[in-house]
Amino acid sequence: MPGDGSTGSIYSTTHAARAWLLTLAAVGILGCGHSNNSTGPTSTTTAQFNFGNNSPRTVDAFGDSITFGTLEERKIGFGLDTVNNYPNGLQKLLQKLDPAWRVINRGVGGEVVQDGATRIGIVLPFDHPGFILIMEGTNNASRCDDAAFIVNNLRTMVDAAKANKTIPLLGTIPPNFRSPTCAQDVIDEANTMIRGLAAAEGIVLAEIFDGMNNRSLFGLGPDRDPLHPNEQGYAVMASIWFNALKQAIPAGGTAVALHHKK
């Protein structure tokens, strides 16, 4: 996948996600979008943040196939992916502020939150990101898992990021336009809890669900996979995350604003 010069492999099945833990690699990113759905602390909240040994201009995009950039599932274990994924789009937007920004795509197709809660503990010390964007729960909702179970695992991810001196941001679970009613109910309940978690933890929330609750942003056509965004949808998602990050980045993310503090 094209990017910022980093190389490696990221897999698109749950089984491959386990193998991925042994072959971590960075994939850099590019695109655009147009939404401003985010809430949380302003940039002054993190103006004196101690990033430790992390890079203040590195962002990890952490999630499942929607983070990775799958356009649709063609068959089990195979999907159509796009380089115009949201991490690529987000990097392009951030590099307008400062060319030093880098976004690493850590999306793994098919991942459930309990696996993500384990994987994040390997990703963080490997990438040393100043920020991590956490958006998971779609696959658990499709299994009709309990919303509290989803959010408890997201809380574990937030705690891991904070312990690593990485600033976490949370995204609400995207809409699911597939037919299972249970998935939609779980997403609604989990998103209410995610909003509460972000407020309780004092971290910025990216309102992905509200900003993308439009069927035209999903699937390659009206009769195509309604779970994964199309390229227009990924552009909107990138913009939502961009506006959320601007709330979390000290002084708006310009070249002079960010530095290591040990």
> Residue 81, CB half-sphere, CA atoms under 13 Å: how many?
24
What tens digit of pLDDT does each residue of 194-252 get? Answer: 999 999 999 999 999 999 999 999 987 766 778 899 999 999 999 999 999 999 987 65
Task: Report how far Cα 145 is from the mean position of its chain's Cα atoms.
Answer: 20
Q: Tell me the CATH number at 231.
A: 3.40.50.1110
Positive or negative torsion for Cα 98, 104, 107, 113: negative
Residue 41 CB coordination number (10 Å): 14
Mean pLDDT within 59-81: 83
The residues, any chain, with a CB within 8 Å of residue 14's CB and separated by 6 or more, are 109, 110, 111, 112, 115
**115 falls within a domain:** yes
**180 falls within a domain:** yes
In whole angstroms, give the CA distance from residue 150 to residue 194: 9
**85 falls within a domain:** yes
**125 falls within a domain:** yes
In whole angstroms, give the CA distance from residue 106 to residue 63: 7
Q: Are 121 and 23 in contact (CB under 8 A)?
A: no
**153 falls within a domain:** yes
The residues, any chain, with a CB within 8 Å of residue 148's CB and separated by 6 or more, are 193
Mean pLDDT within 190-194: 98
- For 14, the token pair is 């749950």
**9 falls within a domain:** no
Give the confidence band of 51 by pLDDT, cuts at 50, 70, 90.
Answer: very high
DSSP 8-state class, residue 61 = E
- pLDDT score recorded for residue 92: 98
What tens digit of pLDDT does each residue of 3-24 get? Answer: 343 323 333 333 334 433 333 3
Concatenated DSSP letters of 159-174:
HHHHHTT-EEEEEPPP
Q: Are 233 and 74 in contact (CB under 8 A)?
A: no
**262 falls within a domain:** no
In whole angstroms, give the CA distance from residue 83 to residue 89: 9
Residue 102: what residue type? R
In whole angstroms, give the CA distance from residue 22 to residue 18: 8
- For 74, the token pair is 């063609």
What tens digit of pLDDT does each residue of 243-260 get? Answer: 999 999 876 555 434 444
Beta bridge partners of 132: 60, 168
**184 falls within a domain:** yes
For the chain, the domain total comes to 1
What domain range is 172 assigned to?
14-253
Task: Report how far Cα 125 is from the mean position of its chain's Cα atoms.
Answer: 17
